[in-house]
Chain A
Amino acid sequence: MNIVEATSIRKSYGNKFNKQEVLKDVNLQITKGEFIGIMGTSGSGKTTLLNVLSSIDKINSGSIKIVGNEISSMKEKHLADFRQKHLGFIFQDYNLLETLTVKENILLPLTITKTPSAVANKKFEKLAKQLGIYELQDKYPNEISGGQKQRTSAARAFINEPSVIFADEPTGALDSKAASDLLNKLTELNESRHATITMVTHDPVAASYCERVVFIKDGKIYSQLYKGKGTRKSFFEDIMKTQGLLGGQQYEY
C-alpha cells in the first residue's frame, strides 16, 4: 500500500521573469513501513521535496496524496489538522521547545488531539524506554546532549503514531556515535512499529541505514538504490558510487 504518492510535482520559486525551477516533474511512491532516504547535493531540491511532501510548502503543479488524501489542494486549517494526525517531524537542529521538559516536549502532539492523559502517559513510557530517554523526562533540553535531544525529537515524531515521519538531516548536528545510535533506534522503531520514515540526508553513512535511497539531481530523480538483502556496508558502497556519478563529494573510505 502506498502511503505517499507524488505524481509529476513541480515547484518553482521567484516571479514570472526570474523563475527558478527547483522540482521538475518528480514522481515518488513510498509504501507503508518503508524507511526511505533522499540524497542529493546542496541545491538539488531535496529539502524542497521534503517540504512539499510534508505539506509545509505548496507545489505549483502535480499531485501529492498521503494516505489517499490530496494535500496539494488542502486549505491551511485542514492542513494543520492533517499534519497532526498523519505527519511526524524530526529536524536537524532538534527543534525542541527550550521552555518545556523532555516529557512535555514529547507529549505535545498528543495535546492537539486531546488524548486522555492516562493514555498519553502510557504511550510516553513505552516509547521513551525504547529510545532510552525515559530517565531524562524531567530535564530541560539544555541539560541533555545532542543525541538525547534528537532522540527526544524522534520520540515526539513517533508519539502520535503518524502515517509517515519526515526527517530532515536528523544526524546533521550529531557526532558519529550519536548518529549511529539514533539511526539504529530509528531502524528499530521502523521495524517494531511499521512506521514509515522519509529521511533527507547528505551523509552516505546515514543513508545506508535506509531500505531505499532516492537520488535527486537538479530537481529530478536521478536514480534509486535498493538495499535488498545485502549488508549495510555493501549498500553504503553502492551509495558512494552513485554519489560519485552524481558529481557530489567523493568519500575516501
Chain B
Amino acid sequence: MNINHLILRNLKKNLKNYYLYVFALVFSSALYFAFVTLQYDPALDDTTGTIKGGAGLRAASILLIAIVSIFLLYANTIFIKRRSKEIGLFQLIGMPKKRIFRILSVENFILYACSLLIGIFIGFSFSKVMIMILFKITNINAIATLHFSVKALTQTLIVFGVIYLFIMIMNYAFIKSQTILSLFKVSSVTENITKRISVVEIIIGILGIIFIASGYYISSRLFSGSFGTMNEITLAMLTILASVIIGTYLFYKGSVRFLLNIVRKSKNGYLNINEVLSLSSIMFKMKSNSFMLTVITTISALAIGFLCLSYISYYSIGALARESVPDDFTISSSKDANLFETTLENEHIPYTEKRIEVIFMKVNMENIIKSGINSSSTMILPVVSEKDVKGVKLSEKETLLTGYNDALKGMMSFKSSGYVEIKGKHNVISQNFIGINRKFVISTAFTRTNLPSVIVDDKVFRQLKKDINPSIQNDSSLYIGVNLQNVDDSIKANKIFKRTEFDANGVNLSRMGMVASQKQMMGVIMFVVGFLGLTFLITSGCILYFKQMDESENEKSNYTILRKLGFTDKDLIKGIRIKQIFNFGIPLVIGLSHSYFAVKSGWFYFGKELWAPMIIVMFLYTILYSIFGILSVLYYKKVIKQAL
C-alpha cells in the first residue's frame, strides 16, 4: 500500500463521516459563486440594470466569505483533532512530519477541489434560479438570462484558494507543534472534567439569567420614552447588547448547569435512563462549549433579527405606503396636474382630485410632548386648513395634529391635551392642542418630514399664511392628490404617469412607483439577508452536528455499559432524543428569544405588522435548524447500534 492508496482510503472514510462538511462546502461555494455571478451580471448593474443591488450583493459576498472561512477553519480544528491518533501512528512508524503534512494537504486538496467544482457547477445553474427569485421578490418582469462569467470563476477560485491555504497553515502548525505522545492524548483528554457544582458556578449561573433578563427589560423600555436623548438610547442599546451577550455566555457557562443541577438534586441519585443520557451529559458539555455556543446563539439571533426586520419591512411596504402616502398620485403644481389629468381623461380613466394648501411653520410643542428623543421641542411642521381635511371640524382656538405612525410613536409621545405655539415671522399664536390622529392627509414625501401635520381652523390658517417665513417653505405650497376611482386602472395610470413630462423641479410621486421601488430595495436586502442567514444556519448547524458526532463517539463506551446493564437501544435513543432537543433546542430557543426581544423593541420603524412575518421567519428557521438535530440523532443511532 503506497501513499496514494492511503490518501484514497482516507478520503473514502472521511466522505462517509463528513458528508455534511462536504455539503456545507459545496453549498457555500455554490452560493458564493452565484453571488459573484449575479454581481457581474448586467441585470444588476447600478446604472443600466433593472435592479440596483450590486453594492448589497458585494457586501453580502464579503460577509459570506467571513462566515464560510470561520466555519471551515473551525470545522478543520475539529477534524484534525479527531485524526490526531492517526497522525500519531504515522509518526510512530517513522513517517516524517513533512510527509504527513503532504498526505493531509493532498487529501484536503482533493476534497476541496471536488467540492469547489461541484459547488461552482451548482452555483452556476442555481444562479439563474436565484436571479429569478430576486426578480420575483422585487416585482420585476424580466427574463433571467445568465452568462458564465470568467471573472466570477477566478474570484471564487482565488477566495477559496486563500481559505484552503489558511487551513493548510493551520494543519501545518498543528502537526509541527505536536509530539507523538501528545498526539495520542488529544482525543483522550475528555472535554468534560466532571466536578461537582461550585459556589462560583451557582453565582455565574444566577448572574447569567439576571444579565439576560435585564437586557430584555431594557430593550422593552427602549422606545417607550424612558430614554430621552439619542445618546441615552445609543447607550441603552449598547448596554442591552453587552448584557445579553455576556448573559448568554454566563448562561452556558453556569446557568444551564445550575438549573439542571437543581433538577438533578431533587432526584436524589435516582436518575432514569432519559435523565442519565440528557441531563448529566449536557450539564458538563454545555460549559466546555460555552464560547462556541455563545457565538452561535448571538449570530443566529442577529440573523433571525435581521431576517425578521427585513421581512417585516418587505411585508408592510404596501400598508405603510397607503398610510404615509394617502393619494395615488402626488403632484405639486397645477400645470403638472393638468398635464397628467388631461391624459387620464383622454384614456377614459375616472379620477378625483384634491388640492390642499400647505404652509410650513415653526411650532413649539414643549407643552404637549410627554417624552421624545429630539432635544428641541420647536419643530418645523406642515400646516393645513381644516376645510381641506375631510371629517375634521375645529373651532378657532383648537389645533389637531395628524399623521402619527408607530415609527413616530417610538420617537416621541404626546400628552392628551395642552397648548402649542405656532410661530410666524412676526407673531406667535397659542392654540389649544386637542389630540393627535393616525391618518396622514398629505404625503410624507411631499412634506419631506416624518413629523405630523398641524390642522387649524380656516380663519387661523389664513392669518398664518400672511405671516409665513419664506425661508422654510417648500417650493410649492400646493399639494395636489389625484386618486383613481377604479383600482383596476392603476397599472395603466401609472404608465401614463411615467410617460408624462413633468416639471423637473416639482415633487411628483406615484404611490405605485414608490411601492415598486421600495419593494425592489427591500427585496434585494431580504434576498441578501435571507441567503446569508441560510448560510449561517447551515454552517452553525454543521458545527453543532460535528460536535455531537464527537460527543457520541466519546460516549460510546457509556452506551456499551448501559446496554450491558439491560437498557435496549430504543431506551437509549429515546434518551438521546431528549438530549438533542436540549443540545439543539437551547441555543435555538435562546437565539429566538434574543431576536424576539430585539425585533420587538424597534420593529415599528420597519413596518406595520409584527407577528405574521416574525412567526414565518422563526418557523422556517426552526424547521431548517432542526434538520441538523434529526441528523445528529440518526448518527447517535448508528453509534448506539454499534455499541454492543
Contact = CB atoms under 8 A, between A and B. Distances in A.
Given A99-B192, A107-B269, A140-B195, 17 more contacts: A56-B644, A80-B568, A82-B566, A83-B566, A91-B561, A97-B280, A97-B558, A98-B192, A99-B280, A99-B284, A100-B280, A120-B270, A121-B268, A121-B269, A138-B196, A140-B194, A142-B194
Nearest to B284: A99
Interface in A123-160: 124, 137-143, 156
A60 to B, nearest CB: 18
Contact of A107 (B190, B271, B280, B569): B271
Interface in B344-379: none
B269 A137 contact: yes
A100 B196 contact: no
Given A104-B271, A140-B194, A141-B194, A97 B276 contact: yes
A251 to B, nearest CB: 32
Q: Give the residue among B190, B196, B566, B570 with the most A Cβ atoms within 10 A.
A: B566
Contacts of A1: none
A139 B194 CA distance: 10
A98 B194 contact: yes
Interface in A73-131: 76-77, 80-85, 87, 89, 91, 95-101, 103-104, 107-112, 117, 120-121, 124
B436 to A, nearest CB: 61
A81 B558 CA distance: 18
B195 A117 contact: no
B567 A117 contact: no
B269 A80 contact: no
Q: List 5 A-B pairs, minimum CB-CB distance, nearest first.
A: A84-B566, A103-B269, A83-B566, A99-B280, A80-B568
A243 to B, nearest CB: 29
A116 B451 CA distance: 70
23 contacts: A80-B563, A81-B566, A83-B566, A85-B566, A95-B564, A98-B190, A98-B558, A99-B276, A99-B280, A99-B281, A99-B284, A100-B271, A100-B280, A104-B269, A104-B276, A108-B271, A111-B271, A111-B272, A112-B566, A112-B567, A124-B269, A140-B196, A142-B193
B269 A111 contact: no
B560 interface: yes
A108 B559 CA distance: 13
A66 to B, nearest CB: 13
Interface of B: 190, 192-196, 268-273, 276, 280-281, 283-284, 557-558, 560-571, 644
Nearest to A140: B194
A166 to B, nearest CB: 9
Given A110-B270, A124-B269, A140-B195, A100 B565 contact: no
A56 B561 CA distance: 11
A104 B192 CA distance: 18
Interface of A: 54, 56, 76-77, 80-85, 87, 89, 91, 95-101, 103-104, 107-112, 117, 120-121, 124, 137-143, 156
Contacts of A138: 196
Contact of B568 (A76, A103, A108, A111): A76
A71 B375 CA distance: 85
Candidate in B192, B284, B561 with the most chain A CB atoms within 10 angstroms? B561
- With most chain B CB atoms within 10 A of its CB, the pick from A110, A111, A137 is A111
B273 A112 contact: yes
Contacts of A111: 270-273, 276
Given A95-B557, A121-B270, A87 B566 contact: yes
B270 A117 contact: yes
A17 B567 CA distance: 36
Contacts of B268: 117, 121
- State the majority secondary structure of interface residues on A: helix
A219 to B, nearest CB: 23
Nearest to A157: B565
A107 B557 CA distance: 19
A95 B196 contact: no
Nearest to A88: B565
Q: B270, B557, B644: which has the most chain A beta carbons within 10 Å?
A: B270
B270 A107 contact: yes
A54 B269 CA distance: 27
Contacts of A77: 568, 570
Contact of B561 (A84, A97, A110, A139): A97
A54 B566 CA distance: 11
Nearest to A162: B566
Contacts of B568: 76-77, 80-81
Nearest to B554: A98
Given A81-B566, A84-B567, A121-B270, A108 B276 contact: yes
A117 to B, nearest CB: 4
A106 to B, nearest CB: 8
A209 B407 CA distance: 85
Contacts of B280: 97, 99-100, 104
A116 to B, nearest CB: 9
A109 B562 CA distance: 9
Nearest to B274: A111
B389 to A, nearest CB: 71
Scoring A54, A89, A98 by chain B CB atoms within 10 A of each residue's CB, the highest score goes to A98
A101 B194 CA distance: 9
B562 to A, nearest CB: 8
A89 B563 CA distance: 11
Contacts of B567: 80, 84, 112
B283 A109 contact: no
Contacts of A76: 568-569
Contacts of A107: 269-271
A234 B276 CA distance: 46
Contacts of B560: 95
A99 B566 contact: no
A86 to B, nearest CB: 9
Contacts of B284: 99
B194 A99 contact: yes
A85 B193 CA distance: 33
B269 A101 contact: yes
Contacts of A82: 566
Contacts of B196: 138-140
Contacts of A98: 190, 192, 194, 558
Nearest to B264: A104
Nearest to B194: A140
B550 to A, nearest CB: 15
A144 to B, nearest CB: 11
Contacts of B557: 95
Contacts of A56: 564, 644
Nearest to A114: B272
A89 B276 contact: no
A108 B562 CA distance: 9
Nearest to A97: B558
A84 B564 CA distance: 8
A138 B568 CA distance: 27
Contacts of A83: 564-566
Given A97-B558, A99-B283, A100-B271, A84 B565 contact: yes
Contacts of B192: 98-99
A79 to B, nearest CB: 9
Contacts of B195: 140, 143
A142 B193 CA distance: 8
A98 B269 CA distance: 14
Contacts of B569: 76
A87 B570 CA distance: 20
A112 B565 contact: yes
A138 B562 CA distance: 20
A98 B194 CA distance: 7
